[in-house]
């Protein structure tokens, strides 16, 4: 059930981000989006397996968000992602 919930809520988040330009009220912060990104990568890949980018500030922020989840199990990352995503959806609405 958790994996299905993860996939569904991730789809909702992706759709909302893609349609962000159409909805001025749905504006998660960069910190909120980076939290989701780090959890998402931990679910799909596990611990970070690449070198930290040296030049790209966005790449560094994403890498740091993922690295911050090092050692977190897939199940814990999924559950945390679902909780965080639901919080963002509740905060900004659908």
DSSP states of 32-73: HHHHHHHHHHHHHT-S--SPPPSS-HHHHHHHHHHHTTTT--
What is residue 24's predicted lDDT score, i.e. its pLDDT?
59
Distance CA 47, CA 38 (A): 10
| CATH code for the domain in which residue 46 is found | 1.20.80.10
For 31, the token pair is: 């910190």
> Is the separation of the CB atoms in 10 and 3 below 8 Å?
no
pLDDT 10s digits, 36-85: 999 999 999 999 999 999 999 999 999 999 999 999 999 999 999 999 98
The reported pTM is 0.83
> Is the separation of the CB atoms in 20 and 26 below 8 Å?
yes
Q: Residue 89 pLDDT more than 70? A: yes
CB-CB neighbours of 5 under 10 Å? 15
More confident residue, 92 or 91: 91
Q: Residue 4 pLDDT more than 70? A: yes
Distance CA 34, CA 28 (A): 10
**Per the structure, how many domains does the chain have?**
1
Domain range for 78? 2-92
């Amino acid at each position: 059930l958790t994996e299905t919930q993860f996939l569904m809520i991730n789809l909702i988040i992706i759709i909302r981000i893609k349609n962000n330009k159409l909805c001025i009220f749905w504006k998660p912060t960069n910190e909120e989006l980076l939290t989701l990104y780090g959890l998402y990568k931990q679910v799909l890949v596990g611990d970070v397996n690449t070198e930290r980018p040296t030049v790209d500030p966005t790449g560094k922020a994403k890498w740091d968000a993922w690295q911050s989840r090092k050692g977190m199990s897939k199940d814990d990352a999924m559950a945390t992602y679902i909780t965080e995503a639901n919080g963002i959806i509740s905060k900004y609405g659908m």
